[in-house]
Amino acid sequence: MTQVYCDIIPQANGWCFLSEEGQSAVYPSYRLAVEAARSYSEIQIAKRKVTVLRQQDLRGRMLEIAGLAQAWGPDGSAGLGGRA
């Protein structure tokens, strides 16, 4: 499978994600942007692509956030014992 990146980035009015197909819509919260990126990555699986979700840290490095992205339940509640 091909590996592609999906980067969650801040915008002036919210959060979006960047993928090989371009920029997503802007979402009002980080959590909504991650959920949209997760939905996008599920579509990529059908295309035989593995999507790596990343976020930029304070030093400018892109860090994988797949564990954090999977922490949110479909109902919007935080998993991992309330930590996310």
pLDDT digits (tens, 9 = 90+) for 1-26: 678 888 998 999 999 999 888 999 99
Phi, psi for 25 (deg, rounded to 5): -65, 160
Closest to 24 in 3D by CA, of 13, 40, 12: 40
pLDDT number for residue 67: 57
The residue that leads in pLDDT, 13 or 77, is: 13
Sheet holding 22-23, edge to edge: 22-23, 14-19, 2-11, 49-56, 62-64
The residue that leads in pLDDT, 18 or 76, is: 18
The residue that leads in pLDDT, 70 or 37, is: 37
pTM: 0.69
